[in-house]
Structure 1
């Protein structure tokens, strides 16, 4: 079991930017229409913004405000699927015998976001990029808890998923719309996360677990549960 506090949060999805927007969505969640809208990252230099995919922009849009004024802030970045649009572009170029773009490749790898974060913030603290199947959020929380246990006063956790291209529709079913969630975690015991293992009846949920956790947070519920394979993760907070 691990314990922690959620000091602050930020989230983004097309049409959902403010805390008020997210409170309303959490009370009555609905699927969002397809959109090419990207979050505002005007706090970054224009030349740097041009290099960022929407996935990276989502990560920066939720993480940057939470990191404001904090130095030596470790980052845990989580994405199950990563830069699927960039990856498809690279594969399409290969299939068509086109030369590959070194820039496209360097920005498609899973740790590209934390590399850009380190450069743009001049941040040299520990950073981890995870892709951990259906319970990546929980694995990210374990990583963050380890950093807090080692003495970090705070850890920034960012989880984000991009809407995959149509070519992946038969394989990727857990991204109803693009989203990003940032959590600023600090030591404490307001929340606890516990793992139980055994035979699990996996239930299909409409929303990604990161958004279900946000619903738990914003609707003042005291518990939520997430099952994946033979693992059951129990989230509990003090009432």
Structure 2
């Protein structure tokens, strides 16, 4: 069992970017727009924003305010599908027998976002980029929680962009673009345990969003069933 606390959080989805809007979303009273928009990240100079993909902009948008005032803050970045927009453009170039952009290729790899984060924030501490299946979010939380043994706080960012039409037949688990940032600290606000089981995932939302919904509704306990593990959550949100 792992124990940790949530010192702060930030989330973004098209047309949902405040606590009140997210609470309405959790109650089923509003829905995020299904489009390809991304936050503007105006806190960065224009030259620095220029190379950020929509996925990177979402990650920076939720992570940057959480990292303010924190020096050498470890980061765990989780995305199941990663830079689908950039890879779709690269594949289209290959299909058209066009030369590939080295910059586009370099920024399409899964750890490119944490590299950009390190450069723009001057961070040199531990950073990890993870992918995974339907329980990749819990795997990322395990990584972040273990880092708390060496650091007082750890930043976790989970983000997915709306996939390019090229991937429509293969990626069906992203209802809309979203990003979730969690600033983890030592404590016992959340408890996460798991056991090996064989079951079928039944969540109607990507798990980062499912977790956020339970968090906002102050659900005391719930389970997330993966194909190989069953994850048990207990959380209490400060009122």
Smaller-chain TM-score bracket: over 0.9
Q: How far apart are the structure 2 equivalents of 1:172 and 1:50?
A: 27
Match of 2:2 in 1: 2
Is 1:113 the counterpart of 2:80? The answer is no
* Unmatched tracts of structure 2, length 5 or more: none
Q: How far apart are the structure 1 equivalents of 2:117 and 2:180?
A: 16
Match of 1:175 in 2: 174
Is 1:67 the counterpart of 2:84? The answer is no
Q: How far apart are the structure 1 equivalents of 2:130 and 2:236?
A: 28
8 Å Cα contact 1:76/1:140 also seen in 2: yes
Q: How far apart are the structure 1 equivalents of 2:57 and 2:210?
A: 22
8 Å Cα contact 1:31/1:177 also seen in 2: no
* Unmatched tracts of structure 1, length 5 or more: none
Aligned positions, number: 237
8 Å Cα contact 2:36/2:177 also seen in 1: no
Tell me by how many angstroms 1:185 deviates. Answer: 0.1
Match of 1:225 in 2: 223
Match of 2:153 in 1: 154
Q: Name the CA shift for 1:147/1:30 in 2 (closer, same or farther; >3 Å).
A: same
8 Å Cα contact 2:36/2:162 also seen in 1: no
Q: How far apart are the structure 2 equivalents of 1:199 and 1:96?
A: 43
Tell me by how many angstroms 1:205 deviates. Answer: 2.3
Q: How far apart are the structure 1 equivalents of 2:91 and 2:101?
A: 11
Tell me by how many angstroms 1:29 deviates. Answer: 5.9
8 Å Cα contact 1:8/1:183 also seen in 2: yes
8 Å Cα contact 1:31/1:176 also seen in 2: no
Match of 1:37 in 2: 37
Q: How far apart are the structure 2 equivalents of 1:167 and 1:199?
A: 32
Match of 2:204 in 1: 206
TM-score, normalised relative to structure 2: 0.96
Give the RMSD, CA atoms, in angstroms: 1.3
Match of 1:90 in 2: 90
